[in-house]
Amino acid sequence: MMDTIRLGKSGPEVCGMGFGAMPLSLRRRPAEDMAIAVLIQAIDAGITFIDTADAYCIDETDKHHNERLIAKALSGFASDVKNLVIATKGGFIRPSRQWVRNSHPGHLRDTIRESYLALGGKRPISLWQHHAPDPEVPVEVSLAVAATAVKEGLIRHVGVSNYSVPLIERARNVIEIVSVQNQYSPWHRKPEADGVISYCEREGITFIPWSPLGGDTRSKHLGEYDILTTLAREKNASPHQIVLAWVRSKSPCILPIPGSTRPEHVIDNVAALNIMLSVDEIRRIDTAIPA
């Protein structure tokens, strides 16, 4: 039976390996038929958690591209996908291909409804996450918009992204938070140092690391790290699988969401669920790859 993880204390149970759909909609995105093939492969491989965002697009004229792409892929899917969790985010805009924070209530209200419609408009958004704190808007104001959307039936569960522990606690005073999505990989270990992972584990919140393979550029060169290739040979695995196994080893509350633009890479990532690292092997990776 495939490893599973529950989203927070009240959310659904999903496969222990998710899929990050962002690469399918940015500037170097694949052709639409290839992107849809990747999404279908993810579902066929047993993945039940797909991460997206309203701002996964080229610019503001392309807003909600990733969400619409996922909805199109699902519309042609023959089997039942009711248990599939689509997690989207809101709080960024993309003027001139930049990433600009915008959590003003009016914008969040509009983009939540637009995300709901882009994803099909037939059932509540499984998980909506506030994409990042906005220095111009208190998190209480941003999360109040999400709380209202839950009451309106647009959203089922709420999470946050790029949040510190103090901000997570403030958000939880407004509404139940089932997930925290921050950057985390062997090369970026801030969530270990700032206590976010330990806080999530202690409080029953799912931690979703973005860029778990170190980012698009680094993930193409994992074979250049001796420790990863050595362990990969020993375990008949790929360096990518070793990194994902390392990420998962850090806490039972962690749900990695590696992205890909090729179906075969999705299969490789899911197979990382079968890789187990010893305490010594984890320590060797920690030592060989400085954060």
CATH number of the domain within which 110 lies? 3.20.20.100
What pLDDT is stored for residue 76 in this prediction? 77
Residue 76 in any domain: the answer is yes
What pLDDT is stored for residue 79 in this prediction? 65
In total, how many domains does the chain have? 1
Q: How far is the C-alpha of 40 from the C-alpha of 74, rounded, in Å?
A: 8
Element (H, E) at 85: strand 85-90
**In the predicted model, is pLDDT for residue 237 greater than 90?**
yes
Which 3 state secondary structure label does DSSP give 13?
A: strand
Q: What is the mean pLDDT of residues 247-251?
A: 98
Q: What is the domain extent for residue 57?
A: 12-217+250-266
What pLDDT is stored for residue 280 in this prediction? 98
Q: Is 199 a catalytic residue?
A: no
What pLDDT is stored for residue 2 in this prediction? 66
Quick count: other Cβ atoms within 10 Å of Cβ 269?
28
Residue 183 in any domain: the answer is yes
- Partnered with residue 15 across adjacent β-strands are 4
Residue 67 in any domain: the answer is yes
Residue 89 in any domain: the answer is yes
pLDDT digits (tens, 9 = 90+) for 37-93: 999 999 999 999 999 999 999 999 999 999 999 999 999 776 668 889 999 999 999
Task: Label residue 1 by pLDDT band (50, 70, 90).
Answer: very low
Mean residue pLDDT across the chain? 96
What pLDDT is stored for residue 71 in this prediction? 96
Task: Label residue 129 by pLDDT band (50, 70, 90).
Answer: very high
Catalytic residue among 56, 116, 163, 199: 56
**In the predicted model, is pLDDT for residue 178 greater than 50?**
yes
Quickly list DSSP for 28-89. Answer: TPPPHHHHHHHHHHHHHTT--EEE--TT-SSSGGGTTHHHHHHHHHHHT--S--TTPEEEEE
Q: How far is the C-alpha of 74 from the C-alpha of 143, rounded, in Å?
A: 29
Residue 230 in any domain: the answer is no
Residue 47 in any domain: the answer is yes
**In the predicted model, is pLDDT for residue 257 greater than 80?**
yes
Q: Are 158 and 150 in contact (CB under 8 A)?
A: yes
What pLDDT is stored for residue 77 in this prediction? 73
What pLDDT is stored for residue 244 in this prediction? 98
Q: How far is the C-alpha of 116 from the C-alpha of 241, rounded, in Å?
A: 33
Residue 228 in any domain: the answer is no
Rounded percentage of the chain residues whose pLDDT exceeds 90: 94
Residue 212 in any domain: the answer is yes
